[in-house]
A and B are shown apart, each in its own frame.
Chain A
Amino acid sequence: MIRRSTPLAVTAATAALALAVTGCGGGDTPESSATDKPTGNATLWVRDSQKGFINLLTDQYNKTHDGKIQVTVIPAASFVQKFGTAAQTGSGPDIASIDLVYLPFFASKGVLDDLTEVQNQLTWKDALSPAHRKLAEYEGKVYALPFTAEASMIFYNKDLFTKAGLDPSKPPTTFDEMLNAARKIHALGKDYYGFTMAGQCGGCNVFEVAPHIWASKGDILSEDGKTAQFTSPEVTDVLTFYRQMWTEGLMPPNAKTDNGSIQGTTFQGGKTGMVTLGAFYVQTLMADKKVDFGVTPIMGKDGGTASFAGGDEIAVTKSAKNKAVAYDFVKWATSEEAQMILAKNSIVPVRTDLIDKIYAPIDPRYKPLGEAMSTGQTPYSVVENGIINDNNGPWATLINQGVFGAGDIRQAQETANKAAQAIIDKGA
């Protein structure tokens, strides 16, 4: 295993080792370090879903700095594979914007550069999204900085609330209240539904359903990600609640099989009372102008709130050629100037100190989203993709059978838990 030098390493031992290894490595490409002046070109890989704003950001950086960033856009579906193989062979970019759930995986495989010192240089370090910071940490070191944020909330149709005799200024705060609201909206007519979800989508349901569990003070994985907790009673409660909504016909029939591409459209149809989605959806609904909507936090069984903190982190690869510019850019990406550009493009800032200043003023509905992000959670696992995001994996199967199946919920939990634990044990 070749360990590249970490120029910021403080201890003499690491420095000596680093020097020795660099000496052995014998690469001719001169590597710059953080102590160098950030000049020259650095490459950045992003996913095609970020195409809308990434050039605005890099143009601004390139205009105001000596270093220049060149962006390469990679299709979202193959980003992890492409970046993984490229980073390992040293043909990857200097910088990469990575979905935060994959951070533990990449950090554990040793392809990312240690950014602990870089993060320490930020005066606003403590204001960075706690969920992002947690996911970027692996064995005590920081491997990425927070970049963009996303948070899940319940969207509700205010007109339908009024029609159904509910107060649109008092959205539900417990499972019982949500069930009651869904029933009343469904009672408006045969094709009216209280709530919809994407039953066949693993990634959607960690974003949308898991917060109910967290808000009820439960969890789906242990803190270190090494134990699956799909059997916890809070999971049973949520599945029971959702199954009730399903069996009472409060959800449209396509909720069972939606792989994530339908639920938004269904809510936009104006006959569905509630749906759980993220900040990106605010922009969609505002552009659409059809539904008068409100947003409210995802609640626990008897109150409490939680949210899934999603988004991207920005990392420097271990084999980066221009680390000076890379370090400079990732630091700048968390600055007010950069985060402001993101906020203007409907992206939740990753800095809790900036939510009220640059994000909330854009639309009143952004404020609760920003707050949800600040307290949001994200499951930590080096095999997140296999246990949660896989549409046919343990988590998606649990939702599918727990909510839409007819079998025993606890039995489904046991089976899914075993499958998840097997993947965790294999990956460790």
Chain B
Amino acid sequence: MTETLAHPATEIAPSEPRRPWLTNRRRRQLMGLLLVSPALVVVIVFFLVPLVMTFWMSLHDWPLLGDHEFVGLANYKQAVDDTEWTNAIWFTLKYTLLITPALLIPALIQAFLVNRPGRGARFFQTIFFLPVVIGFAAGAYLWLYLAQPGLGPLADLSAKLGFSDSTDNWFATGTSALLLVSLMVVWKQTGMQMILLLSGLQSIPDELNEAARIDGAGRWKAFRYITLPLLRPTLALVLVFSVAGSLLAFDQFFIMTAGGPSNTTITAVYQIYRTSFINFDLGYGAALSAMLMVVLAAVSAAQMLLLRRTDHS
């Protein structure tokens, strides 16, 4: 530092004329790099480094405490034959298939309903969005008690209305537990999707719909041929978020069913948690995480591709 300060003249005015290294283009590039560097550092430190470490750990027998040793792909081989793991994968896929339309359809309907001016629409928009601001864990605990037979008002209400018996326990079978958790997630997440879809709907110019109406298109046709295609980018975003979130489901099942009854509601992340933090087998847990990540990346990429391709047709 002191050296450069000592000879400022030589730096600023070089004796022989030559192309300055720092051209305008380079300067812009450097400036750009400088501006994204905080984000880059965050991504490297909190995403890339852990990613590489996870992969590195997955090649080891790595207990929480004690020495680790390199085992190559043994963890991955073990995972393929691990019925607990494959069951967890199947359950996660089942849940994703169930929850994705269960979230999207009500969200779309709500978005249409509140997509109009007026206080009434804003009021219901707020009501629909309210559950989103409650934490996932808090929401799960809330529903755990609400639906508890003999204790919860939801179970009580359902019995009084004659839908169920007061001794029915919705957590007692794998299917009813899955449905109940899904119901909680619908209550909790539809509002978020509604807001996203609403912003998509509002970006569609009214003129297009008007023109279609003048050409004789009915409500359904206008929706099918005008709204839906123009909403596609938003739908893609919502679907990718929703599917990725569902494949990573954990807390709602951890809290509401604890994986039960008889281990029928264990998701992939739940199984990774058990492997890593209950059985302290970090290496195997890392291998399972890596596998899940590949699935997640593949599903998201496939969704993006599908939705993009139809965009060009």
Contacts and interface: CB of A to CB of B under 8 A. Distances in A.
Contacts of B149: 252-254
Given A253-B150, A253-B168, A392 B257 contact: no
A257 interface: yes
B303 interface: no
A109 B263 contact: no
Interface stretch (A81-89, A93-101, A297-305, A340-348): A81-89
Interface string A386-428: 1001111100010011001100000000000000000100000
B258 A201 contact: yes
Interface in B151-169: 151, 166-169
Given A256-B172, A385-B279, A386-B279, A392 B148 contact: no
Query: Which has the most chain B C-beta neighbours within 10 Å: A85, A200, A269, A390?
Result: A200
B151 A85 contact: no
Contacts of B150: 191, 252-254, 266, 269
Contacts of A88: 65-66
Contact of A84 (B65, B166, B177, B258): B65
B64 A397 contact: no
A362 interface: no
B259 A392 contact: yes
Given A106-B65, A253-B167, A392 B263 contact: yes
Interface string B124-160: 0000000000000000000010001111000000000
Given A109-B65, A389-B278, A401 B151 contact: no
Given A252-B150, A253-B169, A386 B258 contact: no
B169 A254 contact: yes
A257 B151 contact: no
A35 interface: no
A257 B169 contact: yes
- Main SS class of interface, B: loop
A111 B260 contact: no
A338 to B, nearest CB: 29
Contacts of A392: 258-260, 263, 266, 274
A256 B65 contact: no
B65 A111 contact: yes
B65 A397 contact: no
A261 interface: yes
A386 B278 contact: yes
B279 A81 contact: no
Interface string A106-134: 10011100000000000000000000000
Contacts of A397: 262-263
B280 A257 contact: no
Interface in A180-221: 190-191, 199-201
Given A397-B263, A400-B262, A257 B279 contact: no
A127 to B, nearest CB: 32
B261 interface: yes
B95 interface: no
Contacts of B171: 254, 256-257
B123 interface: no
B65 A401 contact: no
Contact of B66 (A109, A190, A390, A423): A109
Contacts of A249: 167
A400 B260 contact: yes
Given A85-B64, A252-B149, A256-B169, A261 B144 contact: yes
Nearest to A387: B279
Contacts of A389: 278
A64 interface: no
Contacts of B90: none
Contacts of B172: 253, 256-257
Contacts of B167: 249, 253
Nearest to A85: B64
A262 B260 CA distance: 15
B151 A269 contact: yes
Given A253-B169, A400-B262, A393 B257 contact: no
A393 B266 CA distance: 12
Contacts of A80: 64, 277, 280
Interface in B242-287: 257-263, 266, 274, 277-280
B80 to A, nearest CB: 18
A385 B144 CA distance: 25
Contacts of B278: 385-386, 389-390, 393
B151 A254 contact: yes
B280 A385 contact: yes
B274 A257 contact: no
A265 interface: yes
Contact of A391 (B66, B148, B166, B259): B259
Contacts of A200: 257-261
A191 B159 CA distance: 13
Interface in A259-280: 259, 261-262, 265-266, 269
Contacts of A383: 279
B26 to A, nearest CB: 43
15 contacts: A191-B150, A199-B260, A200-B257, A200-B259, A249-B167, A254-B169, A256-B169, A256-B261, A257-B177, A262-B148, A385-B278, A389-B278, A390-B274, A392-B258, A400-B260
Interface of B: 63-67, 144, 148-151, 166-169, 171-172, 177, 257-263, 266, 274, 277-280
